[in-house]
Amino acid sequence: MKAALPFFSGLGLTLLALPLRADIAETFDAGWSDASYSNISTWDHSGVGIWESNDAVVATQNARTGSSVRLNKSSAAYLEFKGSDGQGVDGGIGTVSFWVRHWNGDGTEITFAIEVNASNTGWAEVATGSTSSTNYEECRRSLNLTGDDLRIRIRPTSAPERLVIDDFSLTTEGGEPEPDLPEIAFASPTSTFLESGGAMRIPVTLSEAATASAQIQIVGGSASTPDDFVLRSTTVTFDSDTTTQWVELEVTNDDLAEGPETIDLRLTAASGATVSTTGHTVTLLDDDSASSNTGETLVIASANITSGNYQEYEAAGDRILQAIGADVIGIQELNVPDSGGVRDWVDRVFGADFHYMIEPGSDSIPCGVISRYPITASGEWDDPQVSDRDFAWATIDIPGEKDLHVISVHLHGSGGTGSRNTEAGVLVERTRASFPADDYIVLCGDFNTTTRTESAVTTLKQIFSDDHVPVGRDGNDNTNLNRNKPYDWVMPNAALEVLHQAYTIGGITFPDGCVFDTREWSPTPSPAQIGDSGVSMMQHMAVVKAYQLPSETENSRTSHGTPQSWLELHQLGPDFESSDLLDSDGDGQLNWQEYQANTDPLDPQSHFSILSVQAAQGGVSVTCSTRPGRAYTIEFSDDQLTEWTPFLQSSLATFVETSAVSATHTFVDDFSGTTSGAAPISGRRFYRVGVAIP
């Protein structure tokens, strides 16, 4: 592949709208500069007001978007809003809202107080809150305070760890306090389905159990109804016992070569709750194009579904494995009743054309790998925490130019989080030493983890992804018998993660993969039976994900490095070199630049740009749009745009977007020895930001 150089977006400015219902709205993303712990810092944010913090930093790490304020783990830390004149808010405070998270998720609980100081008479606590999650949670309190000169602050009260705060707003509305209503939201902003998928289900969540409802509205997209799809459910309704419901779509599988089409959905008309302003876009992938460059679908499962008194694969587990139809399975506790051993069992359950490996030796509950495709190499790595199994691995010759490396593991259940984290560290080390990083690698296993934020998972995320979280038909992502703990996992590396696609079974499509619990199905996918997942000593559910492999010719690229398959997917062929140099959507960026920026070449609203350049305290902040899997580098020039120089410290000059959604990033030039080195002598400076594939 030809390495593509970054292309740059020059100096630009976009005014960002503030939330409509808030008199004060602060995102901490523009006009703020870094402050150190253990001192008091103030910011005068034009148009918002004056802020003061003690023992805090403003940082891009852990932010929702852009920047956030991170309060240190001390009783002296606080974040205070002092109004536009530094004396406080006039006209009362109706509702205050901000988003909080635990900065590193070590399981400790951080409690905090919301305090108000009226006319400098002293601080009084008016509300409290707490968090132990690394996921942002909204803290929204109706205070209904009257009067003028009201200063308000957030102060940690338990201080076991750092508290991260972002997206602050308050209203000066009077009257009765607003009720704290839960929020209805799509579980994810996007999903992708094949046209041949049939019935599709899109999860919608309620932030806390309540009786509530919302309507589903089609607001745009290139797909039409009923020619391309039918919206089967126009309302989602929650009772006091449910927090997940589903929007159902029926996709029309026609014979027309139409290319990808989209459906834009929005939640409206809520009752008993608020609705998120973030909509949901469904992309329907056409399967009829004669020139389609799409390869085979690869279904991967993790299964520890033994049962009975002998901890072996009995009829219920066999039927589940046959029903899910996986091409590759990382399997645990591979004990079988067949007199001919594992080979006879594989022949009987999967077919004689399937391949398998089982860790060598005499471990009592060994791990293994089963594959539709040939296994070209296999072996085991020692598990340092247990004596009755090890880590099994296999290299599989799947269709295409790359191999698939499968690692099947069964982490220590009774050893606690520390023991599992030790195992995770060994897995990261051995994986890096054994397999090329750009090959396809997947970790399958019974992790025995009690939460998705356990330290072992964090360690494994150095290589493996949990961006797509499989769920059962009820929306529950837990996989043990009682469905209250996430024991079982399929975690791909970055090269495989980008090929993720929805998995369909029994006419139901799961955008992020499936936790297969037969007790939720009626009828069950054949040959599984409804009681199979609940038989005696069955302690786990199978977990399944799917991936769309590139075809044999996917690696054909233009002279700018754009895959021909990407151009073909956007109907920009067959003259790929010429198409690569077109600006197909008229947004000022050529198609090869759109590929490099991971934006949509057919959507003029989807393009890489600088969003704002603003004076910050003691420097300048530059905010740009970001897309998943892309690297962004800032450069500056004081010499008529003829010489461009990156920031002096590489970690501040380049940012890699690792989130799974579009976002923003703010570079701050504080004129120090780690950024530009000095303020511009002439009083003017130009900035540009480049985007490249890391």
694 burial level (CB within 10 Å; 0-12, 13-18, 19+): exposed
Distances (CA, A) of 561 to 43, 185, 626: 45, 38, 20
Coil vs helix vs strand at 348: helix
Give pLDDT, residue 67.
85
Which DSSP state fits 15? P
Q: Provide the strand spans (E) within 119-260.
A: 123-131, 137-145, 150-156, 163-170, 183-186, 190-194, 199-206, 212-220, 229-231, 235-238, 244-251
Cβ proximity of 445 and 386 under 8 Å: no
Instruction: Answer positive or negative: Cα dihedral of 660, 661, 662, 664.
Output: negative
Report d(CA 673, CA 645) in Å as an integer.
13
Helices (H), 506-621: 564-569, 576-580, 591-597
Phi-psi region of 55 (alpha: psi -120 to 50; beta: other; left: phi over 0): left
pLDDT at 259: 64
CA distances from 609 to 9, 134, 136 (A): 6, 29, 26
Q: What is the pLDDT of residue 437?
A: 78
The number of residues in the chain equals 694
Is residue 253 very low, low, confident or very high in pLDDT (cuts 50, 70, 90)? confident
pLDDT band at 627 (very low <50, low <70, confident <90, very high): confident
List % helix, strand, coil for the chain (3-state, nearest 5). Answer: 10, 40, 50
pLDDT, position 472 = 93
Within 10 angstroms of residue 241's Cβ, the number of other Cβ atoms is: 7
Residue 371 structure tokens: 């594959």
| Band of pLDDT at residue 178, cut at 50, 70 and 90 | very low
Res 22 pLDDT > 60: no
What the block records as the tokens of 286 is 């056409």
Which pLDDT does position 332 carry in this prediction?
Answer: 97
pLDDT given at position 12: 28
Interatomic CA distance for residues 635 and 383, integer angstroms: 47
Helix, strand or coil for residue 58? strand
Q: Give the pLDDT confidence of 570-592 residue by residue, as tens digits.
A: 778 778 888 899 988 888 888 98
Q: How far apart are the first and last CA of the chain?
A: 13
Are the CB atoms for 451 and 416 separated by under 8 Å? no
* Per-residue pLDDT tens digits for 29-70: 777 766 677 778 888 876 678 889 888 888 877 787 778 899
**Dihedral angle over CA of 144, 145, 151, 157, nearest 10:** -60
Structure tokens at 428: 């990261």
**Using one digit for the tens of pLDDT, what is the confidence trace for 340-394?**
999 999 999 999 889 999 998 888 999 999 999 999 899 999 999 999 999 999 9
Q: Give dist(CA 571, CA 553) in Å, integer.
A: 17
Which distant-in-sequence residues (6+ apart) come within 8 Å of 172 by Cβ? 23, 24, 89, 90, 91, 92, 93, 94
Residue 12 has φ and ψ, to the nearest 5°, of -155, 170
Q: What are the C-alpha distances in Å from 461 to residues 31, 298, 430, 658?
A: 33, 22, 14, 11
Among 590, 553, 598, CA closest to 572: 590
pLDDT tens-digit profile of 382-437? Answer: 999 999 999 999 999 998 778 899 999 999 988 889 999 999 999 999 998 888 87
Written as one string, the DSSP assignment of 499-525 is TEE-EEETTEEETT-EEE-GGG-SSPS
List CB contacts of 18: < 8 A, sequence separation 6 or more.
25
Do 500 and 546 contact (CB within 8 A), yes or no? Answer: yes
Neighbours of 210 (CB within 10 A): 16
C-beta separation of 632 from 653 below 8 A? no
Q: What is the C-alpha to C-alpha distance for residues 19 and 177, in angstroms, rounded to an integer?
A: 19
Inform me whether the pLDDT recorded for 242 exceeds 60: yes
Which amino acid, one-letter code, is at 553? T
Provide the whole-model pTM: 0.46
Inform me whether the pLDDT recorded for 664 exceeds 80: yes
- CA atoms within 13 Å, Cβ hemisphere of 507: 10
Angle at 53 between CA 51 and CA 57, to 5 degrees: 115
pLDDT in tens, 117-160: 988 889 988 888 888 888 888 888 878 788 888 999 999 988 77
pLDDT value, residue 334: 96
Name the residue type at position 321.
L
CA distances from 270 to 123, 217, 574 (A): 37, 12, 47
Among 570, 502, 159, which residue's Cα sits nearest to residue 297?
Answer: 502
The residues facing 8 across adjacent strands are 690
Considering only CA atoms, give the Rg of the chain.
Answer: 27
Q: Give the number of other Cβ atoms within 10 Å of residue 485's Cβ.
A: 16
Taking residues 617-641, report their average pLDDT.
Answer: 83
In this predicted model, what pLDDT tens digit does every residue of 309-328 receive, in sequence order? Answer: 888 999 999 999 999 999 99
Residue 380 CA to residue 392 CA, distance in Å, equals 4
Q: Does residue 162 have a pLDDT over 50? A: yes
Least confident of 263-272, 414-423, 531-540: 263-272
CA distance 585 to 579: 12
* CA separation for the pair 676, 679 (Å, rounded): 8
